[in-house]
């Protein structure tokens, strides 16, 4: 299977099991690549259906303080785009979950659209989310992704009009990423007419629709069971892992405790999504 097919299969499997899919975000290289691989494996074993792996960048777009801090730790530890791709390859080769890279456009342009997509596909990556590349400017990325079998993920913003929702959803071949609220990841409020936005995205595109931004607890995830095809959780897990490492007496213990804490949190989130409820 190519990347588009792997992502579709993950969402289809969840639907067949009467579940809403769980997408888990991790920062590549926080605090090092070995830790990221361990967290990814723990998350998948605990119930994550898709892994979203963020490539650290010095000026992240829309990311709140938790993910910004994770990227800062990763960059201080020597994280690079090449290292993140190698990390993604190890995760993709060792788990059944498709890996979607969240990456700044500058990191992509350093290799060129064709070169980056080829490198990502060669690493076993299934899809790409480039949050600072508007869909109107993404023709080259979409073409390169299509040639290499990668799914594309575009953001449906909280203030997007019908035409923008349709453009982002129709261009998404991996899944459409609907933002639950205004603001940055992991904080604040500012809700939108979420169910209407999800239905508009479904009507405009063929890929699954996942909701992220500000989802951290099983109760918040459960509100979307059966409403969206997938739920994306990131900051809460990144923060929990970092707290566990900080509280440990030595690095080895910290890594094990971080994996345990993340697995426990993922199990709780997955359990909250086990019944799709009144959704489609």
Give residue-wise pLDDT tens across range 77-100: 999 999 999 999 999 999 999 999
pLDDT score of 214: 87
Q: Which of 49, 52, 223, 229 is catalytic?
A: 52
Which of 3.90.1150.10, 3.20.20.70, 1.10.540.10, 3.40.50.300 would CATH assign to domain 3-272?
A: 3.20.20.70
What would the mean pLDDT of 42-66 be, rounded to a whole number? 88
pLDDT tens digits for 133-189? 999 999 999 999 999 999 999 999 888 889 999 999 999 999 999 998 654 444 444
- pLDDT for 187: 42
Assess whether pLDDT exceeds 80 at residue 59: no
Q: Is 274 a catalytic residue?
A: no
Q: Is 52 a catalytic residue?
A: yes
Average pLDDT over residues 110-121: 98
**Percent of the chain at pLDDT above 90?**
83
Q: Check residues 251 and 7 and name the one with the higher pLDDT.
A: 7
Q: Whole-number mean pLDDT of the chain?
A: 92
pTM score = 0.93
The residue from 38, 63, 200, 257 that is catalytic is 63
CA distance 98 to 48: 10
Q: Is the pLDDT of residue 277 over 90?
A: no
pLDDT of residue 158: 82
Predicted local confidence at residue 62, as pLDDT: 55
């Amino acid at each position: 299977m190519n990347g588009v097919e792997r992502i579709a299969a993950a969402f289809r499997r969840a639907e067949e099991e009467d579940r809403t899919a769980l997408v888990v975000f991790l920062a590549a290289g926080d605090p090092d690549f070995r830790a990221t691989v361990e967290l990814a494996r723990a998350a998948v074993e605990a119930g994550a259906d898709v892994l979203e792996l963020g490539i650290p960048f010095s000026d992240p777009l829309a990311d709140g303080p938790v993910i910004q801090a994770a990227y800062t730790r990763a960059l201080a530890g020597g994280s690079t785009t090449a290292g993140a791709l190698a990390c993604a390859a190890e995760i993709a080769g060792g788990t059944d979950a498709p890996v979607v890279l969240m990456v700044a456009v500058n990191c992509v342009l350093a290799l060129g659209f064709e070169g980056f997509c080829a490198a990502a596909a060669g690493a076993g990556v299934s899809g790409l989310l480039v949050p600072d590349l508007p869909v109107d400017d993404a023709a080259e990325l979409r073409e390169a992704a299509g040639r290499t079998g990668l799914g594309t993920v575009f953001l449906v913003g909280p203030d997007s009009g019908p035409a923008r929702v349709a453009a982002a959803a129709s261009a998404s071949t991996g899944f459409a990423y609907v933002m639950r609220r205004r603001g940055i990841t992991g904080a604040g409020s500012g809700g939108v007419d979420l169910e209407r936005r999800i239905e508009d995205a479904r009507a405009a595109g063929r890929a699954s629709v996942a909701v992220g931004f500000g989802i951290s607890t099983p109760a918040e995830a459960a509100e979307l069971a059966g409403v969206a095809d997938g739920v994306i959780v990131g900051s809460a897990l990144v923060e929990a892992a970092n707290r566990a490492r900080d509280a440990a007496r030595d690095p080895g213990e910290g890594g094990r405790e971080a994996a345990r804490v993340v697995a426990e949190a993922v199990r709780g989130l997955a359990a909250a999504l086990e019944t799709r409820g009144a959704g489609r």
